[in-house]
Amino acid sequence: MAGGFTESAFIKKLMELNNSSQSIQTLSLWLIHHRKHYTSVVKIWLRELVKAKDTKKLTFMYLANDVIQNSRKKGPEYGNEFGTQLKKAFENISQCDEKTKNGLDRVLTIWQDREIYSSVQIMEFKRALLLGKDDQPPSKKIKISDSKKKDKQVTVEVDGTLETHVHLSPHTPPGDPPEPEEIIKAIQDLEMNIASSDEKVREKKLQIYPKSCLTCQ
């Protein structure tokens, strides 16, 4: 994904973001590559999440989850910065439908299971999310997933720099399994147009005129 970081570029990418794993992980790689702008990234992310339609807010949270987890080996900047703003995000999403809340419950479970945030922070996020439920007290315990599946890793090039990305299977909706090859293809497609129309034409000609027919002419 070519191009330096600017606010307008990031907003454009957020507008184009969809809930596929490929889309989320591709933008996540770009943000991690430009992690020195982490303060601006989180500020813009929260502002655009508040403005986004309810149907897209969960996708914004999946993006944050991917960035937070995959940037940990690079440094704590993203995790810490998102940690200061996530309560506001959960409060904003608290009025969304149950499907969205269930998706966020899974994210919270993963964060506690992998110790991304402390138990105190997790409970704070949980309470913020439950604000949308009338008179319902926050859960005393968050169910912990015992899944220990090995995460897939893929190394791709972003703006001339190799970045290692971990495929976090729990962060995306079921039925849309991403593969490392898809991420690599997405990066390459965004950097250059690799389509070859001449090759397609040649293949079509071979389908219409088999070699045996061409030699007979």
Pair 171, 19: CB distance under 8 Å: no
Separation between Cα atoms, residue 147 and residue 181, nearest integer Å: 24
Backbone angles phi, psi at 209, to 5 degrees: -120, 95
Separation between Cα atoms, residue 127 and residue 3, nearest integer Å: 39
Distances in whole angstroms, Cα of residue 134 to Cα of each of 99, 126, 187: 17, 14, 44
Question: Residue ranges per domain, the chain?
Answer: 7-131
Separation between Cα atoms, residue 166 and residue 162, nearest integer Å: 13
76-118 per-position pLDDT tens digit:
999 999 999 999 999 999 989 999 999 999 999 999 999 999 9
12-37 per-position pLDDT tens digit:
999 999 999 999 999 999 999 999 99
CATH architecture of 7-131: Alpha Horseshoe (1.25)
Record the tokens describing residue 36, joined without a space.
Answer: 């020195």
Characterize the bridge pairing of strands 152-158 and 161-167.
antiparallel
> What confidence category does residue 131 fall into, taking pLDDT thresholds of 50, 70 and 90?
confident
Task: Give the pLDDT confidence score for residue 196 in this predicted structure.
Answer: 47
